[in-house]
Amino acid sequence: MAQFGWAYIDCDDVSDPAKGPTGSVQLHHADGDLTGSEYLVYHSSSTTGYGPNTLVLSGTLIVTGAISASIYHIEDIAIIDATGSTYFGDDQTDIHARTGSLEIYSDSALILKANAINGQTTVGGLQGTYKRVTTTPYTASVSQMVLGVDSGNSDVTICIPSASSAGAGAVMFIKDQSTRTSSRVYISGSTGASQELIDSASYYILSGTYPAINLYSDGANWWIF
């Protein structure tokens, strides 16, 4: 028996050829006919604002499996309702930008609001990263906000990040958690050809009983507040 990989059927000679507008995707109708609809059309060339090789669905699409796309573009208004966790990006260099304000709630309680109109951010509570410092010298990183110095009764030197790498508006809090009699905590800015300063000084000394210092960066130097 002969076998064929495919067959071509010319519908011109039949009494009831396939129906539908040009480019419509053919569907098997309940009465056995092949029919198409203007709501599901494949454009092989550019037309009416669509690029070539574009499938256009004017209606609702329900997918029970996964959707894989190189680019996923949502126009106008979208409501995303999903259960479980969501993940964005696959590389540390990815940037996820959005236009407009952002609000996060726990039930009806506001947790975080970033207002794109006035540029203010409102938070229900703020928790910075904490690092317990037990060694000397210690070099802090830009990802650390709170340093707790717990080194006993011995001198400690802490080199804070450069104000330029931290960026203007960055803040850092340093607290001495040790009981001291005569030892001190020395805090210095970046070293090198361009020495960055702390309140116009190359270093700052914490002394006494449980002292602390609050710093902010203007992008060039650190300042105490």
pLDDT tens-digit map of 83-102 = 888 888 889 999 999 889 99
- Yes or no: say if 181 and 163 are a contact pair by the CB < 8 Å rule: no
CATH architecture of 130-224: Sandwich (2.60)
Residue 12's pLDDT is 56
Q: Are 214 and 224 in contact (CB under 8 A)?
A: yes
pLDDT of residue 158: 95
Residue from 18, 72, 61 nearest 39 by CA: 61
Quote the CA–CA distance of 167 and 107 in Å, as a whole number.
Answer: 35
Residue 15: the pLDDT is 58
Closest CA to 216 of 203, 199, 201: 199
Asked whether 203 and 186 are in contact (CB, 8 A), the reply is: yes
Q: 22-64, pLDDT tens digit by residue?
A: 888 888 877 778 888 889 999 989 988 888 999 999 999 999 9
Q: What is the pTM of this model?
A: 0.70
DSSP 120: -
Edge-first strand listing for the sheet containing 171-176: 130-133, 146-149, 171-176, 212-217, 222-224
| Per-domain residue ranges of the chain | 1-97, 130-224
pLDDT at 88: 84
Rounded Cα distance, 119 and 102, in Å? 11
C-alpha closest to that of 168 among 220, 223, 224, 225: 220
Structure tokens belonging to residue 59: 């209606």
- List per-residue pLDDT tens for the chain, 225 residues long: 566 666 555 555 555 667 888 888 888 877 778 888 889 999 989 988 888 999 999 999 999 998 888 888 887 877 777 788 888 888 999 999 988 999 999 999 999 999 999 999 999 999 999 999 999 999 999 999 999 999 888 999 999 999 999 999 999 999 999 998 889 999 998 655 566 889 999 889 998 889 999 999 999 999 999
